[in-house]
Amino acid sequence: MPSGSDKKSAKAIKAASKTGTRNKGGVPSSVGSGKQRQIPWLTVAASVVVIALIGALAWNLVPKYQDRAEAQRFAPSESNQDPSTAIEGVQIQEYPAALHVTGTQRVAYDQSPPFGGPHDQIWANCMGTVYPNGLRTENAVHSLEHGAVWIAYDPDALSEDQIATLASKVDGQQYMLMSAYPGLDSPVSLQSWGHQLKLDSVDDPRIDQFITALRLNRFQYPEVGASCSTTPQTFDPDNPPPFDPTPPGADAVPMSGEGITPDSTELTDPAQLPADPAQPVVPTP
């Protein structure tokens, strides 16, 4: 007859056979019990989306940061007062400063767009202003004299997206302005006082290099400390003097400034300018 211990062992084996199968060693196993590990598909899907977003941001932002870092190599310093000389295609020319014309006069500029020479006594607002249309060149040139960079573009050569790309470099950036320039001989042209760079693409890295090298570069523009702000009574950026595509007439002021007395009392405060652009500037004490 089986002993008491044998009966207990038989009962244990029988109980084990009911709760699961046994492995080869006679030990009950949970394999085949019908229970499976659930895969958290929602978590997996969310992780894939997050990784894709990070990848997309990196794809778009990293090149921009790299371009900015590259552009910083062109920052001016005491030892490198004109970094634009290292930018391929930049044209440099010296111009006399403080030669002012009235709001009804035109200048026979030697460049198109101009980047120096006689100009209107009132500057165009250049506080990161993006003008939707063309702008009177005589006002824009005065802004260059104050240290601004002017981006001009051919509206017939660029798409809306390309124009928006340029505008993103200007909008809200002090001492920057941008306007259409119908008839321009290149899609894009950048101007600072005495400097110009014409380009075919809005994605050209030389755009950022030019801006870094010459915007408010105190070594390269005549009127350091001059304002880029205006008042609506002097120059209204919402209603600026329009671009004139016609050639200057015989009565246009020559580039030499002949007949103009240089104005040594250039004003930096727009509140001091006359309400009527056709009237001469009279400095306040």
Which pLDDT tens digits describe the chain residue by residue (285 residues)? 556 656 666 665 565 555 555 555 555 555 555 566 788 888 888 888 888 888 777 676 666 666 667 768 999 999 999 999 999 999 999 999 999 999 999 999 999 999 999 999 999 999 999 999 999 999 999 999 999 999 999 999 999 999 999 999 999 999 999 999 999 999 999 999 999 999 999 999 999 999 999 999 999 999 999 999 999 999 999 999 999 999 999 999 999 988 787 775 455 555 544 443 333 333 332
Residue 23 is predicted with a pLDDT of 53
Residue 34 CB partners (closer than 8 Å, separation 6+): none
- Res 280: pLDDT: 35
pTM of the model: 0.71
Q: Looking at residue 110, what DSSP letter applies?
A: S
Contacts 24+ apart (CB under 8 A), 162-165: 162/187, 162/202, 163/202, 165/202, 165/203
pLDDT at res. 251:
93
How many CB atoms within 10 Å of residue 232? 12
Residue showing tokens 């005549």: 222
**Amino acid 213: pLDDT:** 98
Q: Which helix (H) or strand (E) holds 119?
A: strand 119-120
For the chain, state the CA radius of gyration.
35
What residues form DSSP beta bridges with 162?
Answer: none
SS3 label, residue 160: helix
Q: What is the DSSP letter of 253?
A: B
Number of C-beta neighbours around residue 250 at 10 A: 5
59 C-beta neighbours (distance < 10 Å), count: 9
Which of 34, 268, 179 is CA-nearest to residue 284? Answer: 268
Q: pLDDT (tens digit, 9 = 90+) per residue, 1-25?
A: 556 656 666 665 565 555 555 555 5
Query: CA angle, corner 249, sides to 247 and 252, nearest 5?
Result: 105
Adjacent-strand bridge partners of 107: 253
Q: Write down the pLDDT at residue 272.
A: 46
Q: In the prediction, which pLDDT does 14 show? A: 63
- Rounded-to-integer distance, Cα 153 and Cα 147, Å: 20
